[in-house]
Amino acid sequence: MSDTLLQLRGIIKEFPGVRALANVDMDVTEGEIHALVGENGAGKSTLMNVLSGIYPHGSYEGEIIYDGKLCRFSKIRDSERLGIVIIHQELALVPYMTIAENMFLGNERGSTFNLDWDETRAKADEFLSIVGLAESSQTPVKDISVGKQQLVEIAKALAKNVRLLILDEPTASLNENESQKLLDLLVRFRERGMTSILISHKLSEISQVADRITILRDGSAIETLTRGVDDIGEGRIIKGMVGREMTSRFPAREPNIGEVTFEVRDWTVHHQLYEERRVCENVNFNIRRGEVVGISGLMGAGRTELAMSIFGRSYGRNISGTIAVNGRELHLRSVREAIDNKIAYVTEDRKGNGLILSNTIRVNVTLANLGRVSSGKRLDMDLERQVALEYRDRLQIKCSTVEQNAENLSGGNQQKVLLSKWMFTEPDILILDEPTRGIDVGAKYEIYRIINDLVAEGKSVLFISSEMPELLGMCDRIYVMNEGRIVAELSRDEASQEAIMSSILRAEECGRR
């Protein structure tokens, strides 16, 4: 057995209101591929950010022992100096710079006032050949595919004399062929003695290459499986990931489901920028009156793209397919038309796409339906205030006054303001995209109650979430989406975490063949 390269001891990391990591222990042996798996929000990325110094020493509890020494990283540079390099899911390359320039960004050859371009290019070519990328180092990064960009990131890590390479979802945006190449590369590196930590949702890849697998669940390391000792099949990993008891974290509701109110047929959407890529393909689904319908899927499955493209074509290109509300076919060309046809979309990104943080609660609540609080084009501020107060009471938004700016509210209360805004448009069909992301358990429960109230009024809710337990707890029906397609439709009785996961895996198997 070789030596232990890295030990994490009792890592605890807390954010306001959330304990992201609760006493995590993890050992990484030199020269192995160590996989880290867990559901979204289990704490994988947080743990890696602690390890690489993005969260500096002092902002967490516990010890990092690397190469036999206790380490206290205060910035990323500190960990990189010791050969720990992390490659994030979103690549950090500058599109208009060449491969060589990107590879040595922050690690330039030559001296500060005299860059050595000859050495830069020579070294770049050398590392490119190691990772097996047949491109000139003078090619701008924007001109090569995502898969090749991923290889450039790895070459960049090699240029920093990496000893421990951390890859966060490296294959999420790669096709099958590119993924396999990348995995082969990791195996080759292992033969040369390099250590890697691989974070991935694609369990088949992990079963294929990992030597050991650490499973995180709710911020704790549940178990570590070793190749050759334990069963490391996908089924075994899933069991570790989802094996949690369901308690009554969801308010009860008597389903009172009526006729189909909303139906989407043959919906195909192309990527906003890369027109040849399909983000949704032949999607069919429907929602009934008084029904909560869930869409489950991994990150990047195309759920948000689906929702936004339906919502007045606010995402995507070359959109085809039909939308019918109460049996009547609609052509929604703009967000305004969608709102006027009583469809609402509550974004997953409440700060980026949802709220105007520099404005008051009152202004945010009425923004999508100013017609209701104005006559002609003249705003009735008194009426507006009354509306804001009404929603504050109804959704129990905790604030000093409705004249408080949205930026000063907690995440849960911001989410309630966003919900108020869309409830005020009086929609019949409400699309909720990750409505409980980043808010604490109590606020989640309140959001669930609001959803139950809405369907009790006869509205139809489409509930997109990455957290399977909440979908299972809240939905009457769940569609499973994977790589732009609906791959399963599960009734309340059929639905379970295992069923969802295995339908995703089945779909990926099919895609591979």
For binding to another protein (CB under 8 A), which residues are involved? 311-312, 314, 334-336, 338-339, 345, 347, 352-359, 363, 367-368, 370-371, 374, 377-379, 381-382, 385, 407, 421
Return the HEC string of 391-428.
Answer: HHHHHCCCCCCCCCEHHHCCHHHHHHHHHHHHHCCCCC
Q: What is the DSSP string of 27-60?
A: EEETT-EEEEE--TTSSHHHHHHHHHTSS-TTSS
- Pick between residue 296 and residue 360 the one whose CB is nearest to another protein: 360
- Pick between residue 181 and residue 385 the one whose CB is nearest to another protein: 385
**Burial of 99 from C-beta contacts in 10 A (0-12 / 13-18 / 19+):** buried
- Pick between residue 227 and residue 342 the one whose CB is nearest to another protein: 342
- Pick between residue 250 and residue 345 the one whose CB is nearest to another protein: 345
- Pick between residue 303 and residue 421 the one whose CB is nearest to another protein: 421
We find the least distance from the C-beta atom of residue 370 to another protein, in angstroms, to be 5
Task: Calculate the alpha carbon distances from 250 to 132, 320, 442 in Å.
Answer: 51, 37, 11
- Pick between residue 127 and residue 311 the one whose CB is nearest to another protein: 311
We find the least distance from the C-beta atom of residue 54 to another protein, in angstroms, to be 21
CA 164 – CA 80 distance, rounded (Å)? 9
- Residue 281 tokens read as 């393909």
- Pick between residue 433 and residue 476 the one whose CB is nearest to another protein: 433
We find the least distance from the C-beta atom of residue 356 to another protein, in angstroms, to be 4
**Burial of 231 from C-beta contacts in 10 A (0-12 / 13-18 / 19+):** exposed
Which of these, 22, 37, 5, lies nearest to 212 by C-alpha position?
37
We find the least distance from the C-beta atom of residue 353 to another protein, in angstroms, to be 5
We find the least distance from the C-beta atom of residue 56 to another protein, in angstroms, to be 18
We find the least distance from the C-beta atom of residue 421 to another protein, in angstroms, to be 7
- Pick between residue 5 and residue 310 the one whose CB is nearest to another protein: 310
Q: Residue 487: CB partners within 8 Å, gap ≥ 6?
A: 480, 481, 503, 504, 506, 507
Give the number of other CB atoms < 10 A from CB of residue 205.
Answer: 20
Residue with structure tokens 């399977």? Answer: 468
- Pick between residue 197 and residue 344 the one whose CB is nearest to another protein: 344
Pair 430, 291: CB distance under 8 Å: no
Pair 71, 50: CB distance under 8 Å: no
We find the least distance from the C-beta atom of residue 117 to another protein, in angstroms, to be 31
We find the least distance from the C-beta atom of residue 398 to another protein, in angstroms, to be 17
- Residue 30 tokens read as 């030199």
We find the least distance from the C-beta atom of residue 367 to another protein, in angstroms, to be 5
CA 296 – CA 286 distance, rounded (Å)? 15
We find the least distance from the C-beta atom of residue 335 to another protein, in angstroms, to be 4
- Pick between residue 44 and residue 271 the one whose CB is nearest to another protein: 271
| Residues comprising the chain, all counted | 513
- Residue 228 tokens read as 């050759």
We find the least distance from the C-beta atom of residue 395 to another protein, in angstroms, to be 18
- Pick between residue 127 and residue 424 the one whose CB is nearest to another protein: 424
User: What is the DSSP code (8-state) at residue 369?
Assistant: G
We find the least distance from the C-beta atom of residue 319 to another protein, in angstroms, to be 16
> Between β-strands 317-325 and 260-270, what pairing exists: parallel, antiparallel or unpaired?
antiparallel
- Residue 393 tokens read as 């009471």
- Pick between residue 34 and residue 385 the one whose CB is nearest to another protein: 385
Q: Residue 427: CB partners within 8 Å, gap ≥ 6?
A: 339, 342, 343, 344, 459
14 three-class SS = strand
Which of these, 191, 254, 217, 205, lies nearest to 452 by C-alpha position?
254
